[in-house]
Amino acid sequence: MSGQTTAVSDPYFPANGDARYRVHRYEIALDYRPGPNRLAGTGRLSAIAGRAPLTEFHLNLADFKLGRVLVNGRAPQYTHRGGRLRIRPAKPLPAGAAFTVDVTWSGNPKPVRSPWGGLGWEELTDGALVASQPVGAPSWYPCNDRPADKASYQISVNTPSAYTVVAGGRLLTRTTRASTTTWVYEQPAPTSSYLVGLSIGMYQTVLLGDPGLGGVTQSAHVPAHLLSRFARDFARQPAMMRLFEELFGPYPFGEYAVVVADEELDVPVEAQGLSLFGANHVDGVRGSERLIAHELAHQWFGNSVTIADWRHIWLNEGFAKYAEWLWSERSGGRTAHEQAAAAHRSLATRPQDLRLVDPGRKLMFDDRLYQRGGLAVHALRRALGEEDFFRMLRDWATVYRHGVVSTAAFTTHAARYTADPLDDLYSAWLYEAALPPLPV
């Protein structure tokens, strides 16, 4: 099918997302059978056309069998290959027009291939989980897969009753009929497709902290045999939440859940209102506490305040890394400056070929980006001074709550908190590859 080119594609993933329209709501209903790993889905996307009439547009969806595809209730022309569902409506959609897309799909979900291995839907020994960053969301539902396109979600999952289903957002209903149970979750906050989390497994559910005291409702879903170790490892998460609310402003979502999968994961994964950990992150001696802080901080930096495209990933990872150091500093561990000094020593021995701004797809998840991002935030703290730095940080998370940002937006924001020019700091830490001296 011939057609228009995608406007403003993400330079790292030009095949993902379509900037000619935006989705404001997804309503997804899934039926999943863990044994055969069989998924059947129906979805409705409520969207708005951009500034030009839409003669065609595309969604991202992996290699499922399609049932029906409708635009405003009418059958369009479409093709589906290479992870793209290209749709040509029966009549062009006027600029600015609201429209709906209905899709049904079925098949055996599997991760989509990427330079970092499989991403998205992962079948576990007993259950499944979704870890989509950055481009794994199409492994299980049709979406406009670009971080700047944020929408509300309602997700319904029907699965055998022995399993617990956890998704980001509030559990609206849980309805059991015969041997299956349907779980319905609502996430009203604007959410990027890669941040839609889901886990299906044999879990015990416990509450963390005391929401009756006016705090954020925090739940955990943990295999029974890991509960005692989990209780020690995550005991200080409520204190983390209180600290981060003090430093970053109110928690940006209605609730926060953590899931511990009953198998090992390379790294924990953040989703909207939800973080996923592996059994290897629960050791009973708080060996992964910095990661608990890191994933919680992403709820502000990355999930609520979301990057416009992947060139700006340091705004997610640098701030989450610095939150690890702040938690250490405030909870009796090493100070942020001691953590920064250790990171600086490590980076000084490694190649100097990474620029924080626009690191390139190959280096976007390089550990050096996380460390150097944390160092850039620390350099800014030294330049602004304590009071102005923390006021800047809280305002950044508050002013851009549920919004979309870029590095330029951040540098403009931070410059408002000092009379001194920050151009040299920005140049050295963000735009040049050579590692600057440690700020003192």
- Check: CB of residue 3 under 8 Å from CB of residue 88: yes
Task: Classify burial at 212, counting beta carbons within 10 Å of its beta carbon; exposed 0-12, middle 13-18, buried 19 or more.
Answer: exposed
Task: Please check whether residues 161 and 185 belong to one and the same domain.
Answer: yes
- Considering only CA atoms, which of 330, 282, 77, 299 is closest in space to residue 197? 299
pLDDT of residue 213: 64
For residue 110, being part of any structural domain is answered with yes
pLDDT of residue 308: 97
CATH number of the CATH domain containing 93: 2.60.40.1730
pTM of the full structure: 0.96
pLDDT of residue 215: 86
For residue 439, being part of any structural domain is answered with no
pLDDT of residue 2: 32
Q: Which of 281, 299, 317 is the last residue of a domain?
A: 299
- Considering only CA atoms, which of 34, 95, 28 is closest in space to residue 59? 28
Q: Which of 197, 228, 256 is the last residue of a domain?
A: 197
Q: Could you list the residue range(s) of the whole structural domain that residue 287 is in?
A: 204-299
- Check: CB of residue 105 under 8 Å from CB of residue 77: no
- Considering only CA atoms, which of 409, 413, 407, 415 is closest in space to residue 431? 407
- Show the beta-strand stretches assigned E in 72-136: 77-81, 84-88, 98-107, 120-124, 127-131
CA distance 140 to 386: 45
Task: Classify burial at 285, counting beta carbons within 10 Å of its beta carbon; exposed 0-12, middle 13-18, buried 19 or more.
Answer: exposed
For residue 153, being part of any structural domain is answered with yes
pLDDT of residue 6: 39
Task: Please check whether residues 254 and 314 belong to one and the same domain.
Answer: no
Task: Classify burial at 236, counting beta carbons within 10 Å of its beta carbon; exposed 0-12, middle 13-18, buried 19 or more.
Answer: middle
* Full pLDDT tens readout for the chain, 440 residues: 333 333 467 899 999 999 999 999 999 999 999 999 999 999 999 999 999 999 999 999 999 999 999 999 999 999 999 999 999 999 999 999 999 999 999 999 999 999 999 999 999 999 999 999 999 999 999 999 999 999 999 999 999 999 999 999 999 999 999 999 999 999 999 999 999 999 999 999 999 977 666 689 999 999 999 999 999 999 999 999 999 999 999 999 999 999 999 999 999 999 999 999 999 999 999 989 999 999 999 999 999 999 999 999 999 999 999 999 999 999 999 999 999 999 999 999 999 999 999 999 999 999 999 999 999 999 999 999 999 999 999 999 999 999 999 999 999 999 999 999 999 999 999 999 999 999 88
Task: Please check whether residues 120 and 188 belong to one and the same domain.
Answer: yes
* Residue 190 amino acid letter: P
Site of tokens 């924080």: 356
For residue 14, being part of any structural domain is answered with no
- Considering only CA atoms, which of 155, 135, 127, 151 is closest in space to residue 42? 155
Q: Backbone dihedral region of 338: left (phi > 0), alpha (psi from -120 to 50 degrees) or beta? A: alpha
- Give the distance, in angstroms, between the CA of residue 381 and the centroid of all CA atoms in the same chain: 26
Task: Please check whether residues 56 and 143 belong to one and the same domain.
Answer: yes
Task: Please check whether residues 289 and 246 belong to one and the same domain.
Answer: yes
Q: Is residue 134 reached through a cis peptide bond, with omega within 30 degrees of 0 on the bond before it?
A: yes
DSSP of 312-376: GTHHHHHHHHHHHHHHHHHTTS--HHHHHHHHHHHHHTS-----SSS--GGGTT-HHHHHHHHHH
Tokens of 260: 């511990």
Secondary structure, 3-state, 211-227: HHHCCCEEEEEECHHHH
Task: Please check whether residues 112 and 164 belong to one and the same domain.
Answer: yes
pLDDT of residue 212: 63
pLDDT of residue 211: 65
Task: Please check whether residues 355 and 413 belong to one and the same domain.
Answer: yes
* Residue 154 amino acid letter: Q
8, 47, 154, 417 from 15: Cα distances, Å: 11, 19, 26, 39
